[in-house]
Amino acid sequence: MTSPASAAAQVRKGLAITAIGGLLFTLDLPLLRLAGADIWTLVFARGVFLFLSITACWYLIRASGKSRAPYIAGIAGLAVIISNTISNITYIGAIKTTSGANVVFIIALIPLLAACFSRLFIGERVHPFTWAAIAASFLGVGLIVWDGIGSGHVMGDLMALVSAICTATNFTIIRASGKNVATSVAVGSLLSAIIALLFAHVDFGALTATSAYQVPAWVWIALNGLIAIPLATALIANGPRFIPSADVSMFFLLETVLTPLWIWMLFNEVPSSMVLFGGMLVIVTLIVHSWWRLRMTLRGCDGETANADCPAD
């Protein structure tokens, strides 16, 4: 039996690695903005770097004998490739055409969209409280998009929403199939890069040109695609080994809260009052829902048990 001291050490370890992973995710958007390149150049360079980093990790794990998973996990893997390709392009498109705050507040919808899709497509039960959280979050995003109509950012806001929908679709596919499709994310990143190269203009000169802080643009993109995002993904993925998944999901809120702060500090980009109000509605909804989900988990509820402590959906 695990001693209280040992259990506490495991929890501290889980909180530490998950918090670091969450903090690294907050660097995604700022690093891409610091590169200063155009949309398709960013899609190309980030796609190549993500493909190389994820594929290298897969190869090393497979060579060590710890996993014999195929590179593409069947139909589920192919579906993730398609949705991830669309997500990559629309995410970077949103970064370049709307404010950073708008992007991260809309992307924060992903957990609730995934819950909605799980109910619609794979029949998972969704608690009425989750439906209420989905409605409140969509109201917050609606305020952001409405502000975008007036400020000329509506296309960027819509691209951020498409990216969130595609990412939630990925989670639903993973949930339904139970397969490891991390390498499909790598292929989706590479396919995004190929599309940019073949059907759009990729400015290779922009990658070597001096960008923010007199640093070549490719350095910022490499920090994103080779280090920050792969490492963040690995740390977050290991969090559930030590702490409940509900705890882990709360650390995704760090991106929603801190990224607008980094954008304000680096680029002096101040969100409008309506965007702040809509964003705060999304954040508060997610915090309350995460707290509720954690409370249900600690009570041993799985969303299907109907008794006094675990009410039915």
pLDDT beyond 50 at 39: yes
Per-residue pLDDT, 221 = 96
**Proportion of the chain above pLDDT 90, given as a percent:** 30
Task: Give percent of the chain above pLDDT 70.
Answer: 87
What local confidence, expressed as pLDDT, does residue 313 receive? 46
* Mean pLDDT over the full length of the chain: 83
Q: How confident is the model at residue 104 (pLDDT cuts 50, 70, 90)?
A: confident
Q: What is the pLDDT of residue 53?
A: 93
Q: Is-above-0.75 flag for pTM?
A: yes
Least confident of 41-55, 85-99, 263-277, 282-296: 282-296
How confident is the model over 219-242, as pLDDT tens digits? 999 999 999 988 887 787 667 667
> Which of 96, 123, 313, 104 is CA-nearest to residue 200?
96
pLDDT tens readout for residues 285-313: 878 877 776 677 667 665 444 444 565 44
Alpha-helical regions (H) of the chain: 4-25, 28-35, 39-63, 74-97, 100-107, 110-122, 128-151, 154-177, 182-199, 204-208, 217-222, 229-238, 245-250, 253-267, 273-298
Q: 154 Cβ partners below 8 Å, 6+ apart?
A: 145, 148
Do residues 103 and 95 touch, judged by C-beta distance below 8 A? Answer: yes
3-state secondary structure of 216: strand
Considering only 141-150, 155-164, 191-200, which range has the smallest mean pLDDT? 141-150
Q: Which pLDDT does position 304 carry in this prediction?
A: 41
- Is the pLDDT at 30 greater than 90, yes or no? yes
Residue 9 or 199, more confident = 199
Cα angle value 176/178/181 (rounded, 5°): 105
pLDDT at 248: 65
